[in-house]
Amino acid sequence: MIRIVILGAGNVAKHLYTAFCNHKSVTVVQCYNRKGVRLVPDQKEDNIIQDINNLTEADIYILAISDNAIEEVSGLLPFNNRLIVHTSGSAPIDVINSRNKKGVFYPLQSFSKDKIIDFNTVPFCIEAQDDRDLEILKKLASVLSKKIYDISSEQRNVLHVSAVFVNNFTNHLFSIGNDICNEHKIPFEILYPLIEETAKKITTINPDLAQTGPAIRNDSKTIKRHLKTLNNTSQKEIYKTLTEAIQSKYGKKL
């Protein structure tokens, strides 16, 4: 039985709490956040504390908090030589206070408040300072997923940058597409099959081979027509920037 404490009250903390509560090999012995809010509606009140000095003993303490808070909170922990891990994609392992053993337990996924996560499909990137702690983290991650990777802080930062491109930036483009459709009274749902096929395609072929569209074809008339259609200056600039980036990579010019 692995005993864990979850610190934080954001989306990652809530999803991890829910996932671990469904497994008998892990016990969430306590949760901490400054406001004492429940991570789920039916969480027992005696499972939550507001005073960090009242943290109970556990095998692993998971800091599911903002990157900027990791150093401060890890420095406030009222004990020494216990395994403390954070869930950040970009913060290095060394940001954790040196009074305790350090680790990283990073689930590489986008977590939204009301969207259920299938952890079986989530890659866990783990890191620790010694082999014994690494094995504990592997055991904990294996409760939720079979996709477990030993990833250094440097590699994880690179992964996080890549994730911003494929997730955060892509979602912003979805938002722009939705805005354009709404402006012209077109149902955005018409684009759902295209979005799904685009995401599915790059799991089977290299993204370079999947690239299509007017930019790679150097279809200047279509590009000019699109730019004329766009009324929003920011949308025009993004369209131009991405078009130029595609053409630069594949050797074509406007």
pLDDT of residue 110: 87
Query: What is this structure's pTM?
Result: 0.87
pLDDT of residue 171: 96
Q: What token pair was written down for 156?
A: 């994880």
Q: What token pair was written down for 201?
A: 């395609």
Q: What token pair was written down for 55?
A: 């943290």
* One-letter amino acid for residue 14 of the chain: K
Query: Could you give phi then psi for residue 48, rounded to 5 degrees?
Result: -120, 135
State percent of the chain over pLDDT 70: 99
CB-CB contact of 84 with 74 (8 Å): yes
**Domains, in order of start, for the chain:** 2-151 (3.40.50.720), 156-249 (1.10.1040.20)
Task: State the Cα–Cα distance between residues 124 and 107, nearest whole angstrom.
Answer: 5
pLDDT of residue 42: 85
pLDDT digits (tens, 9 = 90+) for 123-159: 999 999 999 999 999 999 999 999 999 999 999 999 9
pLDDT of residue 252: 64
Bridge partners of 84? 61, 102
pLDDT of residue 113: 80
Per-residue burial over 194-219, b if 16 or more Cβ lie within 10 Å, else e, is eeeeeeeeeeeeeeeeeeeebbbebe
CB-CB contact of 211 with 246 (8 Å): yes
* Mutual angle of helices 233-249 and 170-183, in 10-degree steps: 130
